[in-house]
Structures are given as structure tokens and as C-alpha cells.
Amino acid sequence: MERSGPVVRFDAVGLAYPAPGGGLGAEVLRGVSLALDDGSFTWLLGPSGAGKTSLLRLMHAALRPTRGAVEVLGVGTGAAPRRTLPELRRRIGVVHQDLRLLPHLSIFDNVALPLRLGRRPESVIAEDVAEILRWIGLDHRAHARPEELSGGEQQRAAIARAVVCRPTLLLADEPTGNVDASQARRLLALFAEMNRLGTTIVIATHSEDLVQRFPAPAMRLERGRIRGHDEG
Amino acid sequence: MTRAERARRRAGARDPLGLRRAMSDRLLQALIAAMALLAALTFAGARAADGFAERWRSGAESAVTVQVPEPSLTRMALALGVLSVMPEVAEANPVDGERMAELLRPWLGDQPALPLPGVIEVRLRDLNADVALIGDRVAEAVPGAVTEAHGVWVARLAALARGVRGMALAALALVVLIAVAVVAVAVRTGIAARQESVLVLHQLGATGSEIAGRFARRAAALAFGGGAAGAALAVPAFFVLARLAQPFGDAVPTEGLGGLPWDRVPWIDLALVPLAAAAIGWLTAQAVVRRWLARLP
């Protein structure tokens, strides 16, 4: 589907979390303006605490901006009614830094979650999940619980869950932090393939090695502000 | 894929939040069962009060007594004859003299010489019939005959029955409120146990109604089970109550299967108890979960 304009647009966005004593705390993002084109691939770089995860959460509509305007896939998330946000979130795949696999479900059921929320038939779900697990090298662990998997395997399962729905926008927070170099290359190849097929991708990472291996535009975040936007 | 794996996959599809484990609280079902039992008995109390009031109204209220002093056969026959041709009288039966003496013995002792009046029990076809007019016509035919209605007593008994019914309904409302509170606590505990999972589902794009619906279905299933257990426990209590209430009713005692009064148990009302419990569970869980989710964007 062709879309006019950017997939993600931030206009002078500020974000502050609620303070423990009530009201809002200090801003963790300040005056952030950006625009990500449809089908783009962007690295999000910056030291820990720079605000990378908060920026991704704003893109995922898991947070609303406290200042400025955020538009994701044509939806202004700041003022959008709550009922419109689930539909938006279903079009966005997210790999969290802490993975967030459900411990009581098997890997198969974890990966199947987005498809089941989309009410796909079980036969389609079985096929799609088996395919992505095979691609990501976890087909032999489909019935294991997350706790039975290594850190790298869990990370791959979390990625499988994020991409199984073929999202329009994929957000990943340190998606290769727990895997070895060869697995990291394989995952990067998956992201590159998805990007080639039209998915807009934003990956937050510390790994300069990863960025060098896949040159692409990079946004540098420092103390809640965008300090640079390299064109790769 | 083994059978166990297939079963686990089906469970994963049906219950992604793992609520069967997070909300498997047997205490909740036991409490709901206890409240269902209370509700069934209270409701039965309300219904029984209604039933007694109705029976007293249709029985006692329509019963008028005519006392005939010096009850010779002729005078009694005359009084009965006058009564039997009155259109407003459904039935007129003389009370057996020996039965009268028997009834009065505790107060009067054995005094065969004491002149007891003859008593005729009259059932009216129409409750609004003028009893004074009936009395006048009987007294005209049989001098000295006195006709008495029991309207005052009936009014008092009916007021008492209404009071009992009101109290029972208030107790029923209290039981419902406690059930709501118990389910709310259980659902909150379930949310706390599965908070991370709820957040993940929310972030994956689950709507509030999808998440609330999962909790509501689980709460309704637990409450239905508890309600059914409570209703089943109420059945023996109904047998006992039916036996105790037998002397007050006019129904012929029935001995069904196993010598128990099966037909005196309000089966339809009992069947409604688990359904009402399930509805309370469903609605309460919906409200609690939606309120919890409202804090998320």
C-alpha cells in the first residue's frame, strides 16, 4: 500500500514521566523533531539513558507525548481516542530490550500472539509461526517455555513475535544484545529482507559493529535531544 | 506433535494470559458457593413469605365462621340451607361438635354440660363480598347466629409476611454486594499476578474489551461453578424446609423418589442461581479490568 508522507513524524516533541509526588518529572525527551519515510531503515544511536527506549515507546503509541505532536502511520497519537490505538499497535512490530515473552506460554504460543489477536484462523497461524520459527532457527524449540531457552534463543523468539505479522513499522530496542556475531548477522539479514519488502525499520543499538555492517541513516540521541542525523 | 503439545497449544490459544492458573482460586469458588447457598435460601424465604401471605389471604381471608347458639339439628340445617343458596358463598361446612370439644379442651377442660355453639366454616367465592350482609341474612333465618370475618388477622399476617419478604430481599441484595466485592478482589489478584502479560497483550494491540473479556469469562466460569455448588447444597435444605412448612400449607404431603418432597423444591429458581452468579462474575470482572486498563494509553 502506497502512503504519502512520512511513516513517523515528530514535531517538537517533549516527554516527561509522572513524578512520584504527582505532576510530571523532568523531560526525558526535549524538542525532538524527525520524519521517517515509508520503507526507510534507521539506526537509533546514543548512550544509555539518552532516551532511545522512550523514543521507541512514543513511536509504538505505548506513551503519548507531553508536548508537541507525534504522528505514526497517519495517526496523531497525542490526541487520538484510546479506542483507535490498538488497531495502530497491531501494525507495529516491537522487539523490547527486556524481550517480554510470556513465561507461561510456549515459544509457539508467544510467537502466535499477534496473529491470534488479529483473529487469523488457527491453520494459518500454525503455518506462519512454523515458517518464522524455522527461519529464525527455533523450530525445534517451538514447544519449549521461554525459561528453557538460552538468552539468544529468547531474543530470537521475541524478534519472531515482532515480525510474524509482517508489520508496516518495526521497532527494535537492542535486538542483538544477547546473540553471538553470526546470529546477529542472520537477524540483521532478516531485518534487511523485511526492509526490502517495504517495512519501515528503526533499530536502537549500542553496537557500532552492527551499524558498520549495515550502513543506513542514523539518528544520534543525547540527553533527550537529537544531536545528529547521519545519512549512512 | 504429541497429544500433550496439541493440548498445550489449544490452551495457549484459549488462554494466552494463563488465567486458569492465575485465577484458579478455589477459595473464590467456595465463597461464591456459600453465598449462592445463602442467596438461594434467602430467596426461598422471600418466596415462602409471599406464598404464606397468598395462602392466608386465599384461605383464612375467605374463611368466615358462623356461630349458631343452641345448635339443634334444625337450626344448623336452616343456617346451612340459607348459606348454600347465597351466590357469594363457595362452601359452607359445619365443624364437627366432637372436634370443637377437642379443640377447646385445653382451655375449658371436660365440661360436656357447657353449651358450645355450632360452628360453620364458610369459604367465600368473592373476597369483596359483604360479610355483614351475609350475617344479617343468616341471623334473620336463625335468630342468635353470629357471623365473624377474620379480616384484621389476615391483614396483620400479610403485613408480617411483607416485612419478612422485605428483609429477605435486603439480605439478598447484601449477598450480591458481597459477591461483587469477592469477585473484584479475585480479579485484582489475577491482574497483579499477570500484570506483565496484560501489558504485553496491550502493547501487541489487544483492545480493552479483549483483555477484559478474558478475565470476565474466567470469573464467570468460576462464579458459575461456585453458584452451581451452592444451589446443589441448597436442595437438602429445601427438603427440610418443605417438611417444616408442610403443616402450614394446604397441599397434600407428597412423597416422591426416596421419600423426599421433590416437587416442593423451586428448581427453576435454583437453576437461576449459577446463572446470576456467572452474570455477577462477568460484569464485575469487566468493570475492574476496564478500570485498571484505563490508566494505560
- pLDDT given at position A1: 45
CB A22 within 8 A of CB A3: no
Handedness of CA A191, A196, A198, A200 (dihedral sign): positive
Q: Quick one: cell of A190?
A: 532478516
Who's near B32: CB < 8 A, 6+ residues apart?
B179, B182, B183, B222, B223, B225, B226, B227, B230, B277, B281
* Three-class DSSP labels, A94-163: EECCCCCCCCCCCHHHHHHHHHHHCCCCHHHHHHHHHHHHHHCCCHHHCCCCHHHCCHHHHHHHHHHHHH
- Per-residue pLDDT for B211 more than 70? yes
Residue of B nearest to A142 (CA): B5
Q: Could you tell me which residues are beta bridge partners of residue B67?
A: B119, B146
Q: Which residues of B touch A57 (CB under 8 A)?
A: none
Q: Which residues of A touch B218 (CB under 8 A)?
A: none
Neighbouring CB atoms inside 10 A of B61's CB total 20
Q: What is the pLDDT of residues B138-192, one digit of tens each?
A: 899 899 888 887 665 666 677 777 788 888 889 989 999 999 999 999 999 999 9
Residue of A nearest to B5 (CA): A143
In a mutagenesis test of the B interface, which of A59, A70, A102 is the best target, namely the one with the most B β-carbons within 10 Å?
Answer: A102
- Identify the three-state secondary structure at position A180: coil
Residues A120-130, mean pLDDT to the nearest whole number: 92
Residues B200-223, mean pLDDT to the nearest whole number: 94
Q: Which residues of A touch B199 (CB under 8 A)?
A: 100
B43-47, B101-105, B124-128, range with greatest mean pLDDT: B43-47
- pLDDT given at position B281: 96
Pairwise CB contact (< 8 Å): B210 & A117: yes
Lowest pLDDT segment from A165-179, B24-38, B63-77, B246-260: B246-260
Residue of B nearest to A117 (CA): B206
Residue B236 forms contact with A (CB below 8 Å):
no
Residue A69 forms contact with B (CB below 8 Å):
no
- Identify the three-state secondary structure at position A70: strand
Taking the C-alpha atoms of residue A110 and residue A101, their distance in angstroms, rounded to an integer, is 6
Taking the C-alpha atoms of residue B223 and residue B33, their distance in angstroms, rounded to an integer, is 8
Taking the C-alpha atoms of residue B97 and residue A227, their distance in angstroms, rounded to an integer, is 114
Pairwise CB contact (< 8 Å): B203 & A90: no
Q: What is the pLDDT of residues A127-147, one digit of tens each?
A: 999 999 998 889 999 999 999
Lowest pLDDT segment from B38-52, B106-120, B208-222: B106-120
Pairwise pLDDT comparison (B125 vs B114), residue with the higher score: B125
Taking the C-alpha atoms of residue A140 and residue A156, their distance in angstroms, rounded to an integer, is 13
Residue of B nearest to A125 (CA): B13
Lowest pLDDT segment from A111-115, A200-204, B38-42: B38-42
- State CA A40 to chain mean position distance: 14
Neighbouring CB atoms inside 10 A of A8's CB total 23
Cell 435460601 identifies what position? B41
Q: Which residues of A52-77 are buried (b: 16+ CB within 10 A; e: fewer)?
A: bbbbbbbbbbbbbbbbbebbbbebeb
- Per-residue pLDDT for B288 more than 90? yes
Pairwise CB contact (< 8 Å): B16 & A87: no
Q: Could you tell me which residues are beta bridge partners of residue A24?
A: A18
- Per-residue pLDDT for A98 more than 80? yes
Pairwise CB contact (< 8 Å): A82 & B5: no
Residue A15 forms contact with B (CB below 8 Å):
no
Pairwise CB contact (< 8 Å): B196 & A100: yes
Residues B115-130, mean pLDDT to the nearest whole number: 78
Pairwise CB contact (< 8 Å): A105 & B208: no
For chain B, list the domains and their CATH numbers.
Answer: 18-49+164-293 (no CATH), 62-149 (3.30.70)
Q: Which residues of B touch A75 (CB under 8 A)?
A: none
Pairwise CB contact (< 8 Å): B207 & A63: no
- pLDDT given at position B32: 93
List B residues 14-73 in contact with A (Cβ-Cβ < 8 A).
Answer: 16, 18, 21
Distances (CA, A) of B192 to A92, B185, B199, B274: 27, 11, 11, 27
Work out the minimum CA distance from A114 to partner chain B, whole angstroms: 6
Lowest pLDDT segment from A42-56, B56-70, B242-256: B242-256
Residue B208 forms contact with A (CB below 8 Å):
yes
Cell 430467596 identifies what position? B43
Q: Which residues of B touch A116 (CB under 8 A)?
A: 13, 16
List A residues 96-125 in contact with B (Cβ-Cβ < 8 A).
Answer: 100, 102, 104-106, 108-109, 112-114, 116-117, 122
- Per-residue pLDDT for B44 more than 50? yes
- State CA B286 to chain mean position distance: 30
- Per-residue pLDDT for A18 more than 70? yes
- pLDDT given at position A209: 79
In a mutagenesis test of the B interface, which of A104, A111, A143, A147 is the best target, namely the one with the most B β-carbons within 10 Å?
Answer: A104
Q: Which phi and psi angles does A149 have, rounded to 5°?
A: -100, 155
Taking the C-alpha atoms of residue A4 and residue A2, their distance in angstroms, rounded to an integer, is 7
Residue A80 forms contact with B (CB below 8 Å):
no
Work out the minimum CA distance from B17 to partner chain A, whole angstroms: 8
Residue B244 forms contact with A (CB below 8 Å):
no
Taking the C-alpha atoms of residue B60 and residue B54, their distance in angstroms, rounded to an integer, is 10
* Three-class DSSP labels, A26-51: EEEEEEEEEEECCCCEEEEECCCCCC
Which residue among A61, A94, A109 sits closest to B9, beta carbon to beta carbon?
A: A109
DSSP 3-state percent helix, strand, coil across chain B (nearest 5) = 70, 10, 20
- Identify the three-state secondary structure at position B31: helix
Neighbouring CB atoms inside 10 A of B158's CB total 18
